[in-house]
Amino acid sequence: MLAAAIACEVTATLALRAALDQPAWYALVAAGYAGAFALLGAVLRAGLGLGVAYGIWGASGVALTALLATAIYGDPLTGTMGLGIALVIGGVLCVELGAQAAHRRGAGARR
């Protein structure tokens, strides 16, 4: 579900760029963002922590949008931008690892 939420968000963001020239794309923008938030809500209801879910969603969205905007629209993708994307992904990894460690400590304390 999280992958689908990411795909919806990236699709909506790329469609937003297209909608600037062709307003019919706004329908896909609205549907994509609505789907992304609905799916993100479902992921949270399934039990994934908010910080982890939102971090993965956000970082993946940034990385995929930057890469696809380069491929589709010819947007620049510099080394500095690549480093920034890597740092965002690294930050999300730290949040995930921290959440797993906290979960393990909490599970150990309940025994």
The angle, 0 to 180 degrees and rounded to 10, between the axes of the packed helices 79-109 and 50-73 is: 160
Q: Going residue by residue through the chain (111 aa), what tens digit of pLDDT does each one get? A: 999 999 999 999 999 999 999 999 999 999 999 999 999 999 999 999 888 898 899 999 999 999 999 999 999 999 999 999 999 889 888 888 888 888 888 866 655
CA–CA gap between residue 28 and residue 51 (Å, rounded): 27
**Residue 111's pLDDT is what?**
53
Q: Classify residue 49 by burial, with Cβ atoms within 10 Å: 0-12, 13-18, 19+.
A: middle
Amino acid found at 25: W
Q: How many Å apart are CA 5 and CA 96, to the nearest integer?
A: 18
The rounded radius of gyration (Å) of the Cα atoms in the chain is 17
Q: Give me the torsion for CA of 105, 108, 110, 111, rounded to 10°.
A: 180
